[in-house]
């Protein structure tokens, strides 16, 4: 059996919040099981949660400068998103983390999302990790 897939492509403009805008698009288009295919973007601010997070101890950092998005990966659904982003600065130095609200597009972002129309991604609390985690239905 072959899964049925749909492709969504959209563009964000300056000063839009990358994460909130993706969440809004996913809700408007009722995407139940999506994944980031690609994202080409510039940013004026990036807010990331660094590695090693625990529910009661999260290192969230906001960086203000001109950045290029070198990678955006993750799963998206009306039930929640989980996105990781790598960026580079003016010197080509790269770093990344878990995408948080407060990541501001400048001048643009081109985003392509694939949607598996045969399943639903849910997010349920996982006692082992302490976070809501992906469940595929």
For 16-25, the pLDDT digits (tens) are 999 999 999 9
Quickly list DSSP for 5-57: EEEEEEEE-TT-BHHHHHHHHHHHTT-SSEEEEEEEEEEEEEEEEPSS-BTTB
Domain boundaries 5-136, corresponding CATH code? 3.30.1330.80
Q: What predicted TM-score, i.e. pTM, was given to this entire model?
A: 0.93
- Whether the CB-CB separation of 98 and 53 falls below 8 Å is answered with yes
Give 66's contacts (C-beta < 8 A, 6+ positions apart).
Answer: 42, 43, 44, 89, 90, 106
Report how far residue 116's alpha carbon sits from residue 121's, in angstroms, rounded to the nearest whole number: 10
Six-digit token pair at 35?
């994944």
Is the Cβ–Cβ distance between 36 and 111 less than 8 Å? yes
Sign of CA dihedral 110, 24, 124, 62: positive
- Asked if the model's pLDDT at residue 106 lies above 90, the reply is yes
Q: Tell me the mean pLDDT in the region 48-70.
A: 94
78-93: average pLDDT:
97
Domain boundaries, the chain: 5-136
């Amino acid at each position: 059996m072959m899964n049925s897939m749909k492709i969504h492509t959209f563009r964000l403009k300056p000063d839009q919040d990358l994460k909130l805008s993706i969440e809004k698009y996913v809700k408007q288009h009722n995407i139940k099981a999506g994944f980031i295919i690609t994202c080409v973007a510039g940013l004026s601010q990036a807010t990331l949660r660094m590695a090693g997070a625990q529910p009661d101890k999260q290192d969230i950092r906001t960086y203000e400068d001109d950045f290029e998005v070198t990678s955006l990966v993750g799963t998206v659904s009306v039930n929640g998103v989980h996105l990781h982003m790598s960026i580079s600065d003016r010197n080509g130095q790269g770093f990344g983390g878990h995408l948080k609200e407060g990541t501001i597009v400048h001048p643009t972002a081109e985003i392509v999302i694939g949607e598996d129309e045969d399943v639903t991604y849910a997010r349920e609390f996982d006692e082992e990790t302490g976070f809501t985690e992906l469940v595929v239905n």
